[in-house]
Amino acid sequence: MQQSPTLKSPSLKAESAAALGAFGALTAGAGALGALVTNHGTQVWYRRLRKPAFQPPSAVFGPVWTVLYGLIAVSGWRVWKQPAGPARSRALGLWALQLGLNAAWSWLFFGQRRKRAALADIGALGASIAAYIAAARKVDRPAAVLVAPYLGWVCFAGLLNEELVRLNRSRHWRTWASLSFTSS
């Protein structure tokens, strides 16, 4: 009777370490894209926006996202380590989708300064994370648990995004809205 390979064999350990590195690089790449679009001009624009009272200090975001990106990478890697099959493929597809939507949010919000489009993206991001958690749970329960804080933070970030939209409606939008709804 032949034994199935385990991660204790040197070649499988190396493959697993390389895969963890790849998941880490992909996740770090999504974070780096966000950092690239946040240039000095964007920072000035963002500082000028009216913020809700519950907005955390700017210094909180870097450490929180660093931890969350680490959890996202490890979660994807744990799913990848499981036996191939439709459930694993679905979970990994959803993992990639949430990562793409994560990167798109920074580009929309900071790069394009499109707060409403970013709000739509973060809604889709939250849904994709929830779907990933459900799919990952069927493959590797700890992988699903690892990203639960990420879903919580994205829900909070969505609330912040919504408030930034509400508090910073442009004068042009208000003028157009008042004309179109008050004229007979």
What pTM was estimated for this model as a whole? 0.84
Q: Is the pLDDT at 182 greater than 50, yes or no? A: no
- pLDDT tens, residue by residue, 111-151: 999 999 999 999 999 999 999 999 999 999 999 999 999 99
Looking at residue 179, its pLDDT comes to 47
Contact 94, 131 (CB under 8 A): yes
CA 10 from centre of chain = 33
Looking at residue 180, its pLDDT comes to 47
Within 8 A by CB and 6+ apart from 15, the residues are none
Q: Is the pLDDT at 67 greater than 90, yes or no? A: yes
Looking at residue 16, its pLDDT comes to 82
- Domains annotated on the chain, with CATH: 17-48+62-167 (1.20.1260.100)
